[in-house]
Amino acid sequence: MASLSISFPNLSLEKVPPWLTRITERINEKSGLFPSSINHVLINEYLPNQGIMPHQDGPAYYPVVAILSLGSTVVIDFTPHPNLSSRVGTHGNSVDDKISDQEAAVMNSCERLENFHPFSIILMPCSLLIFKDMVYSEYLHGIKDSEVQGCDEAVNVTNVQNHGVVQHSSGSMKALDSDDTVIFRDNTRVSLTCRVVTKVHKSIFKF
Ligand SMILES: O=C(O)CCC(=O)C(=O)O
Ligand SMILES: [Fe+2]
């Protein structure tokens, strides 16, 4: 859980401040992935042993998220949504040999879903992560509450090796093998999570 969270706009109806709009406009222009201006920014501060539970950002937002990472390096984990995995492997149980169109559609989607694997990404200081579509709708994302995070499976582990952020664990750490590749979170991390709220209610309070 983050030690500090600030949301723009917030309940005091403070809009995204100009210094932040400069950042979000740049992200919007350079990525070309958002349907309109970024109108929601969440700033989270994490101490080295703090993370965020695996979750989905939900239907309130357009399914594209840009996370700007500042401060300590961190590993973010993506895991297929449990509902998705429970649908995998359900085919083949039918008593009836004949397969209805509906069952065939489910089987096809199951086979497709077997291709969904967990993965992790190392977020370097000043890096920008953008995820969207299937990763937004079919995966959970989270960060472990741990100062030392294993990153052997991170998709970009070889890219970041030259930057000196990954090390081998000494073996004295719980839940890690002696040869695991790890990052040490030695500092506070601040993230700016930028999204588009699709339905903006002009008036939150009705009198
Ligand atoms: O701080 C992060 O990197 C992730 C934040 C996040 O997932 C969220 O606020 O929904
Ligand atoms: Fe999130």
Ligand nearest to the CA of 1: 1
190 CA to centre of ligand 1 in angstroms: 10
Q: Is the CB of 42 under 6 A from ligand 1?
A: yes
**pLDDT tens digits, residue range 150-205?**
999 899 999 888 887 888 876 555 555 657 899 999 999 999 999 999 876 655 55
Q: Which residues surround ligand 2, an ion (CB under 5 A)?
A: 57
Split at pLDDT 50, 70, 90, the class of 12 is: confident
Closest of 120, 177, 182, 189 to residue 149, by C-alpha = 182
Q: Choose which residue among 1, 122, 143, 144 to substitute to test ligand 1 binding: the one with the highest number of ligand atoms within 8 A of its C-beta.
A: 143
21-37 average pLDDT score = 97
Cα of 44 vs centre of ligand 1, distance in Å, is 7
Does 31 score more than 80 pLDDT? yes
Of the candidates 198, 201, 190, 191, the residue with the CA atom closest to the CA atom of residue 38: 198
State residue 137 phi and psi, 5-degree precision: -90, -25
Would you call 138 exposed, middle or buried from its count of C-beta atoms within 10 A (0-12, 13-18, 19+)? middle
| Omega of the bond leading into 9 within 30 degrees of 0 (cis) | yes
For 79, 108, 134, the CA distances from 139, given in Å and listed in that order, are 5, 19, 7
Please report, for the chain, how many H helices and E strands are present, in that order.
5, 12
Q: Which pTM does this prediction carry?
A: 0.82
Q: What is the mean pLDDT of the chain?
A: 84
Cα distances (Å, whole numbers) of residue 185 to 30, 32, 94, 182: 29, 32, 49, 10
Q: How far is the CA of 193 from the centre of ligand 1 (A)?
A: 6
